[in-house]
Amino acid sequence: MRHFTFINEEMHAEKVSLKEIARAVGTPCYVYSSATFERHFSVFKDSVKDIDALIAYSVKANSNIGILATLSKLGAGADVVSGGELQRALTAGIPANKIVFSGVGKTKDEIEAAAKAKIKIFNVESIPELYAINDIAAQMNYLAPIAFRVNPDVSAGGHEKISTGKKEDKFGIAWSKAEQAYAVAETCSNIEVVGIDVHIGSQIDHLEPFEKAILKVGSLIKKLRSSGHNIRSFDIGGGLGIPYGDKSIIPPNPANYGAMVKRLTQELNVEMIFEPGRMISGNAGILLSTVLYVKKGEDRNFLIIDAAMNDLLRPALYDAYHEIEPVRKNPENSQIKKYDIVGPICESSDTFTKSRELPIIEQGELIVMHTTGAYGASQSSQYNTRPLVPEVLVKGNKYEVVRKRPTINDILKSENIPTWLI
């Protein structure tokens, strides 16, 4: 469910007019609905209510501290993959004992910061990383709680760039070496083995890959316990898909997902850790943009908008589909045209869609790209020296800018001309 609806023929975020936000904040900008975040988190929480569980929101999906604070109030933990994300989660009020630290390339400084904060668990992805954590923990007189992320070699379908659970992917300990990794961990004096972790991909639209991975890992848990390892937690990661509007994906119902997890894990006697990201934030955000020009080409019509691939990378990176519509409501019998919708960046890949059927749209009109609350702002950049766009959080009839648009001078202040050129 998303709370972007038409009121008096004009799209609103909850009870706030998008035209009002555009006038006050400018475009392009991201607009988020608190009600959608809250509802999606509650739906997921309800789906696993009969399970001993920690819901550790995947910060990489949308890392704005206003969003993290919203979820923290609902009891969310956090899955982080960098020192910066760790600091964001702590700043937003998420308790350290609800934070799990994932990622294949944790640095010394990041490990130290996580150890100092006393996070819940390190998800370890290689033996060299295990040794690094052990060495740092020894210097800090600290016992580091760890789980190995194991790679179950399960194909979850979807785009190859968001696959994480096949043997050729860079993530996790190879399945054939998992038991050996746990044996090595037992020799490390400042490591406490507490769990196991798996993550098979993103935007998964059926339950079978999850079931296959859970069954494999459940079998491994039993083997590890028989070898003396005290496995108390099972992190199943995230990856549950959401609808993007193209009708090609009908994702599993969270209730069915929760029922499946309960059925497959209830005899394991473990705390389950979930890392939903996209499922919580995807439909909670839109990218609001203005049509700069309507350009007629040889055989197609272009809408050139003020948003670009640096603001929303997913179409260029993944060929991702986003539903697009004008902010004004059009009659059902409106004349339809096909448009290529493109941004101003000097790259052919700065294209959001081709030959999309839409009502006739004029220069200066506002349009929205739906389902951009996940991996929209968090993947944005300042390519072409285009400032990061503002992020706006709506709550009922109120809204607030939760990330300001920097000026060009703000950007240039971080750089300098070398002294030998002055």
Q: Would you please indicate which residues are annotated as catalytic (active-site) residues?
A: 346
In angstroms, rounded to a whole number, what is the distance separating the alpha carbons of residues 364 and 328?
Answer: 12
Q: Are 134 and 109 in contact (CB under 8 A)?
A: no
- Give pairs for 66-69: CB < 8 Å, separation 24+: 66/92, 66/391, 66/393, 66/400, 66/402, 67/32, 67/37, 67/281, 67/393, 67/402, 68/92, 68/93, 68/94, 69/93
- What tokens does 340 get? 């290529």
Residues 6 or more apart whose Cβ sits within 8 Å of residue 99: 56, 77, 78, 79, 80, 86, 89, 90, 114, 117, 119, 120
Report the 10 Å Cβ neighbour count for 202. Answer: 24
How many angstroms separate the Cα of 263 from the Cα of each of 68, 143, 299, 413? 30, 33, 55, 56
Alpha carbon distance 379, 313 (integer Å): 7
Taking the C-alpha atoms of residue 123 and residue 413, their distance in angstroms, rounded to an integer, is: 37
Question: CA 257, 259, 260: angle at the middle one, nearest 5?
Answer: 65
Residues 6+ apart with CB under 8 A from 403: 64, 377, 388, 390, 391
Q: What are phi and psi of 177, to 5 degrees?
A: -110, 10
Among 287, 278, 294, which residue's Cα sits nearest to residue 313? 287
Secondary structure, 3-state, 39-90: HHHHHHHHHCCCCCEEEEEEHHHCCCHHHHHHHHHCCCEEEECCHHHHHHHH
Whole-angstrom CA distances from 401 to 65, 134, 223, 382 are 12, 42, 51, 19
Give me Rg for the CA atoms of the chain.
Answer: 23
- CA 320 to chain CA mean position, Å: 15
Tell how far CA 184 is from the center of its chain: 32
**In angstroms, rounded to a whole number, what is the distance separating the alpha carbons of residues 31 and 13?**
8
Report the SS3 class of residue 307: coil
